[in-house]
Amino acid sequence: AQSVAQPEDQVNVAEGNPLTVKCTYSVSGNPYLFWYVQYPNRGLQFLLKYITGDNLVKGSYGFEAEFNKSQTSFHLKKPSALVSDSALYFCAVHNNAGNMLTFGGGTRLMVKP
């Protein structure tokens, strides 16, 4: 069975500082990895995905994520955080043969001015 772990319930960072939201996964076969963001009182929005190719993928709003096969990780990063980045972030994994996209438990990002 596939699974996703987001070890931090909450990440606090000061505006302007770099941020990292951690994600590790377990899946058979090649993983398809995704990050989604959920702003308050809104639905989930797709941020970025890794399917194949370059291990560093760039997405919306200046976010990027690095796929590390040996560590089975897909951490979300941004060089300079904004207060408006404060939201709930979900990592998700899909194997290339399955039907189900499995989500992690979510990490709340709080960016303080």
Residue 93 near residue 32 (C-beta atoms within 8 A) = yes
43 Cβ neighbours under 8 A, 6+ residues apart: none
Please identify, among the stretches 16-24, 62-70, 71-79, 100-108, the one whose residues bind another protein according to the rule CB under 8 A.
Answer: 100-108
When asked if residue 49 is in the footprint of another protein (CB under 8 A), the reply is yes
Out of 14, 56, 100, 110, the residue judged to bind another protein by CB under 8 A? 100
Here's the x/- map for another protein, 72-91, by CB under 8 A: it reads as: ------------------x-
Q: Write down the residue that tokens 């797709």 correspond to.
A: 46
When asked if residue 96 is in the footprint of another protein (CB under 8 A), the reply is yes
Distance of CA 1 to the CA centre of its chain: 20
When asked if residue 103 is in the footprint of another protein (CB under 8 A), the reply is yes
Instruction: Report, in Å, the least distance between residue 78 CB and another protein.
Output: 19
When asked if residue 70 is in the footprint of another protein (CB under 8 A), the reply is no
When asked if residue 34 is in the footprint of another protein (CB under 8 A), the reply is yes
Pairing of strands 87-95, 64-68: unpaired
| Rounded distance between C-alpha atoms, residue 21 and residue 83, angstroms | 15
Angle at 76 between CA 70 and CA 80, to 5 degrees: 135
Given the rule CB under 8 A, which residues bind another protein? 32, 34, 36, 42-46, 49, 51, 90, 94-106
